[in-house]
Chains A and B, each alone.
Chain A
């Protein structure tokens, strides 16, 4: 994407029919630190990578509770994200007050998208520079939506946004078919693993990621660091157990017939599928 003469104003079309300012706003989302979301039939999990300005500062808050049944993870300009979360919280509270009922997620997302669209059609405004992963539960089940700065929104089974999110997306693409029937704990494990994919080599610690869950009978809440660290530790334990386990399997495979060996390999790989390790 290079500078051209049609990109100064959000209200200027390019000859190719593009609004460059809106596309630049989507670039801002790609620069933010990663956020991922995945859902099953009954639960939605959001995760994000904590980015701190410097060693001395605390990390930015990227996951916001909007209501007991809705939460949002943001990537991009966090200030814009904060403002939009406040808007979402307001909408939820007003609906709850008038109707004594939780606001359906689909409607909140449309209201948010319409708000973002307004900013793409006013010359004195600029698009919001933040992508939002909205996770929520309503009568029709668990939902995960992605709201773009362009005013578009999509529903997803699993998605990742922000820098190095492609690695997480690849991991999620491999496994998303299993998510619908996943248990809540498996879903959280998958979320943490997806985050690890975006870290690309950095050690996975609970201080570097934040996980939040919402589900049937479980209001939206952020998991505390202790719980997250415990789950991360189970990954490490599984890795240690696998190494001694695969050796005797490989040994028996070599001694026995080829068919037995392939069966043992397949047994080993399904174990790895449950808690995939760097091979």
Chain B
């Protein structure tokens, strides 16, 4: 996750090297935007659309950037949250997720999200979703990182671990039914 300019925050999943490439593109974009030095600045909507153009263009050339991107931000009091996939599919919503998050986390969010979530409640909701996801991902670790963006700016918190519970009866003595197997 990285802050972009004054108003946006970008998170990505997938190829980290491609994400770093995207960060280079965005760095250049923000640099040129700042060089105008005229009081206008690119907001989250503009950055999101720029990324959509980039991702879709690469997909058309059969050379995609292998990332799913989430872009959020606040500008002049307007909140924005959008996502772009590696083939350039793009949309905005009140809650977005990448890849498996769309199948596992979004139903939870649809049930429990509402307009007036406080920051703490939002974090609890996200932790709930992340726990569901990490239980089901064989290559995941239970660490996650929260980032927050408001009109005042971006704060990215330190990573922390979620408590998990593995003492389910079915996990005890897994070789019970078939000796010699896993």
Contact = CB atoms under 8 A, between A and B. Distances in A.
A259 to B, nearest CB: 51
A99 interface: yes
Nearest to B47: A99
A140 B36 contact: no
Contacts of A107: 36, 38, 40
Contacts of B45: 99-101
Contacts, number: 32
A99 B42 contact: yes
B49 A106 contact: no
A140 B40 CA distance: 8
Contacts of A139: 40, 76
Contacts of A99: 42, 45-46, 49-50
Contact of A98 (B36, B38, B50): B50
Interface in B94-120: none
Contact of A104 (B38, B49, B53, B76): B38
Interface in A30-48: none
A101 B43 contact: yes
A245 interface: no
Nearest to B49: A100
B180 interface: no
B40 A104 contact: yes
B76 A101 contact: no
A99 B40 CA distance: 13
Interface in B29-84: 36, 38-40, 42-43, 45-46, 49-50, 53, 76
A19 B122 CA distance: 64
A98 B38 CA distance: 20
A23 interface: no
A139 B40 CA distance: 8
Nearest to A96: B49
A272 interface: no
A101 B50 CA distance: 11
B76 A98 contact: no
B38 A101 contact: no
A19 to B, nearest CB: 27
Contact of A110 (B36, B43, B49, B53): B36
Nearest to B33: A107
B4 to A, nearest CB: 13
A100 B80 CA distance: 13
A138 B42 contact: no
Nearest to B52: A100
Contact of A100 (B40, B46, B76): B46
25 contacts: A97-B53, A98-B49, A98-B50, A99-B42, A99-B45, A99-B46, A99-B49, A99-B50, A100-B45, A100-B46, A100-B49, A101-B43, A101-B45, A101-B49, A104-B38, A106-B38, A106-B39, A106-B40, A107-B36, A107-B38, A107-B40, A110-B38, A139-B76, A140-B39, A140-B40
Task: Give 4 nearest A-B pairs by CB, closest first.
Answer: A99-B46, A104-B40, A100-B49, A106-B38
